[in-house]
């Protein structure tokens, strides 16, 4: 019995969905994520309908009051329904009688669900951006702590050139900055209101689409009503951004797994696991799970693209199975981002082992060749001198040996005599060669923009800080806008109930 005492004789008639496919058709359980969003969308729509004179004050007040009661009772108390939108409407009608049915004037579930998904996803996008920002802050902080910690750098997983832990970590900060940028980009196109599109073909009612957009904190409308009801590219874009972020994280995770395997870094106990049989083990399981979350994200992206590909205009029920993939992906990757940040923040770098390893495999070879080239020897010839010394020191070009020890000055001199036909000191001082063979000096010499030398890293650190501040502001501005809109909508509701 409705509160106003009238019998409810017009309820949603489930003419076609009472059969064995009922559960298959229903998205009610998955829609729990959209419960709050649907209430907000309902409220904004009803406020607008009243302002436009489409629904009178009494009916608007009754519906808005019922929506508060529905919210209070929670998603779990909703009556059965095909989806959260239908169930909330039924719950409103149960409370206030037939006039509750006016809530669905001048709209369709098609524009309604699209509005709900966008409304909810923008919050998730900001949470993902925030997690990314926190990870960047951690990377920057640990990088500055280890600006001078020399470590081996690899290409093809072979010792390549010495670098620093700071330079290595900032490389991931840079990548995450672009990932954050993509999330903010996706936010811009997600935060548009499709409301008022109705089923896809607009409505004869004098709706104010800009007003509902404003009430819900959207930055504008998706204008074409057929596009508004159909468009899900914001899901593709969001999930692609999330997949790119997960791909960055998977690289970081893989690097940490590898470095931990060689004893160069140790994860804190909070981010490691033991073995059930091997008592000595400390495994980097969290990083492996972070690495795997890229699979969730790309699976979600694939599912979305496959569901959306070839869908005709305008609304098709396939769409019901689309957005959960975006939500699942963003959940998995946001969590992975936070875990990766926590692991980096608490990891222990073994500076001594890293320094010792930095020179292994003749990783300073390029620096010696660079030095010769700086003294006038053509780089290719300098490369050959050093390559000959490397081969003699146990390296190979025939694939049988991939690593060698660093040759000493005498060995390099012998190679110079062979390749150049003259001793090495015709071109370079012995002291300079010996400095070039030292990993720390090698790092310090590479001070070009973006390089690992302390000066270059210092400059980079300043720009990282600026970028972080700018992104904090981007995040806060958007959060504030949403909060203000929610507050104002609540005021509009309170003025009526």
| Nearest CB to ligand ARG, comparing residues 115 and 242 | 115
Look at the alpha carbons of 463, 467, 470, 473 in this order and tell me if their dihedral is positive or negative: negative
| Nearest CB to ligand ARG, comparing residues 39 and 339 | 39
CB 162 within 8 A of CB 445: no
Is residue 113 part of the contact set for ligand ARG (CB under 6 A)? yes
Angstrom distance (rounded) from CA 379 to CA 322: 55
| Nearest CB to ligand ARG, comparing residues 84 and 253 | 84
- Name the region of 220 (left: φ>0; alpha: ψ -120 to 50; beta: rest): left
Within a 10 A sphere around the Cβ of 483, how many other Cβ atoms?
Answer: 11
Is residue 109 part of the contact set for ligand ARG (CB under 6 A)? yes
Which one, of 481, 480, 32, 478, lies nearest residue 215 by Cα?
481
448 in catalytic set: no
Single out the residue of 83, 173, 237, 413 in contact with ligand ARG (rule: CB under 6 A): 83
Q: Which stretch binds ligand ARG (CB under 6 A): 149-157, 187-195, 317-325, 485-493?
A: 317-325
275 in catalytic set: yes
Question: Which of 26, 156, 193, 427 is labelled catalytic?
Answer: 156
| Nearest CB to ligand ARG, comparing residues 314 and 374 | 314
| Nearest CB to ligand ARG, comparing residues 110 and 334 | 110
Angstrom distance (rounded) from CA 35 to CA 28: 10
Is residue 27 part of the contact set for ligand ARG (CB under 6 A)? yes
Quick check: helix, strand or coil at residue 236? helix
Q: Which stretch binds ligand ARG (CB under 6 A): 106-114, 169-177, 451-459, 470-478?
A: 106-114
Is residue 115 part of the contact set for ligand ARG (CB under 6 A)? no
Is residue 119 part of the contact set for ligand ARG (CB under 6 A)? no
- Residue 315 beta carbon to ligand ARG: minimum distance, rounded to whole angstroms: 5
Site string for ligand ARG, 328-357 (x = CB under 6 A): ------------------------------
Is residue 315 part of the contact set for ligand ARG (CB under 6 A)? yes
Single out the residue of 320, 334, 338, 366 in contact with ligand ARG (rule: CB under 6 A): 320
| Nearest CB to ligand ARG, comparing residues 25 and 351 | 25
Report which DSSP code applies to 312: P
Burial class of residue 213, CB neighbours in 10 A (0-12, 13-18, 19+): buried
Within a 10 A sphere around the Cβ of 420, how many other Cβ atoms?
Answer: 17
Angstrom distance (rounded) from CA 229 to CA 223: 10
Look at the alpha carbons of 311, 315, 320, 323 in this order and tell me if their dihedral is positive or negative: positive
Query: Token pair of 384, please?
Result: 């050959």
Question: Which of 275, 323, 427, 445 is labelled catalytic?
Answer: 275
Q: Which stretch binds ligand ARG (CB under 6 A): 16-24, 105-113, 187-195, 228-236?
A: 105-113
Query: Which residues ranging from 431 to 470 are in contact with ligand ARG (CB under 6 A)?
Result: none
Kindly state the number of chain residues that form the binding site for ligand ARG, as judged by CB under 6 A. Answer: 9
End-to-end CA distance of the chain: 20
Is residue 187 part of the contact set for ligand ARG (CB under 6 A)? no
Is residue 296 part of the contact set for ligand ARG (CB under 6 A)? no
Quick check: helix, strand or coil at residue 98? helix
Report which DSSP code applies to 55: S
Single out the residue of 47, 54, 96, 110 in contact with ligand ARG (rule: CB under 6 A): 110
Angstrom distance (rounded) from CA 464 to CA 470: 10
| Nearest CB to ligand ARG, comparing residues 195 and 368 | 195
Is residue 150 part of the contact set for ligand ARG (CB under 6 A)? no
Instruction: Give me the residue label for tokens 């600006």.
Output: 147
Burial class of residue 105, CB neighbours in 10 A (0-12, 13-18, 19+): middle
Residues lying near ligand ARG in the complex (CB under 6 A): 27, 83, 109-110, 113, 315, 317, 319-320
Catalytic site residues?
156, 275
């Amino acid at each position: 019995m409705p509160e106003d005492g009238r019998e409810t004789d017009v309820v949603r008639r489930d003419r076609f969905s009472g059969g064995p496919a009922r559960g298959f058709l229903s998205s009610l359980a998955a829609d729990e994520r959209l419960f709050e969003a649907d209430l907000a969308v309902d409220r904004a729509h009803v406020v607008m309908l009243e302002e436009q004179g489409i629904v009178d004050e009494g009916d608007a007040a009754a519906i808005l009051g019922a929506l508060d009661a529905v919210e209070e009772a929670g998603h779990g108390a909703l009556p059965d329904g095909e989806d959260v939108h239908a169930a909330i409407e039924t719950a409103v009608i149960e409370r206030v009688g037939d006039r509750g049915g006016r809530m669905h004037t001048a709209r369709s579930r098609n524009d309604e669900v699209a509005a709900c998904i966008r409304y909810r996803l923008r919050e998730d996008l900001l949470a993902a951006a925030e997690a990314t920002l926190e990870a960047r802050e951690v990377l920057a902080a640990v990088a500055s702590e280890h600006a001078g910690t020399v470590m081996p750098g690899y290409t093809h997983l072979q010792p390549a050139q010495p670098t620093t832990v700071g330079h290595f970590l900032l490389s991931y900060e840079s990548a995450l900055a672009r990932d954050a940028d993509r999330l903010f980009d996706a936010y811009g196109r997600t935060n548009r209101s499709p409301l008022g599109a109705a089923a896809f073909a607009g409505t004869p009612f004098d709706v104010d689409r800009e007003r509902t957009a404003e009430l819900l904190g959207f930055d504008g409308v998706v204008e074409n009503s057929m596009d508004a009801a159909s468009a899900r590219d914001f899901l593709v874009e969001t999930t692609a951004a999330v997949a790119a972020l997960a791909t960055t994280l998977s690289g970081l995770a893989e690097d940490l797994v590898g470095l931990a395997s060689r004893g160069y870094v140790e994860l804190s106990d909070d981010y490691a696991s033991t073995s059930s049989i091997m008592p000595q083990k400390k495994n980097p399981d969290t990083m492996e799970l972070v690495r795997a979350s890229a699979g969730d994200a790309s699976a979600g992206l694939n599912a979305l693209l496959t569901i959306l590909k070839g869908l005709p205009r305008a609304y098709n029920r396939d769409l019901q199975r689309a957005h959960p993939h975006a939500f699942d992906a963003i959940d998995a990757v946001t969590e992975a981002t936070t875990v990766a940040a926590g692991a980096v923040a608490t990891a222990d770098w073994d500076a001594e082992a890293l320094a010792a390893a930095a020179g292994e495999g003749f990783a300073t070879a390029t620096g010696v060749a660079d030095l010769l080239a700086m003294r006038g020897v053509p780089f290719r010839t300098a490369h050959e001198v050093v390559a000959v010394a490397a081969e003699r020191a146990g390296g190979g070009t025939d694939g049988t040996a991939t690593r060698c020890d660093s040759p000493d000055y005498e060995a390099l001199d012998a190679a110079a005599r062979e390749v150049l036909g003259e001793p090495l000191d015709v071109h370079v001082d012995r002291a300079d060669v010996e400095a070039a063979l030292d990993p720390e000096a090698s790092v310090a010499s590479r001070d070009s923009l973006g390089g690992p030398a302390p000066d270059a890293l210092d400059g980079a650190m300043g720009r990282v800080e600026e970028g972080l501040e700018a992104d904090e502001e981007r995040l806060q501005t958007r959060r504030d806008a949403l909060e203000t809109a929610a507050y104002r909508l609540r005021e509009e509701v309170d003025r009526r109930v």
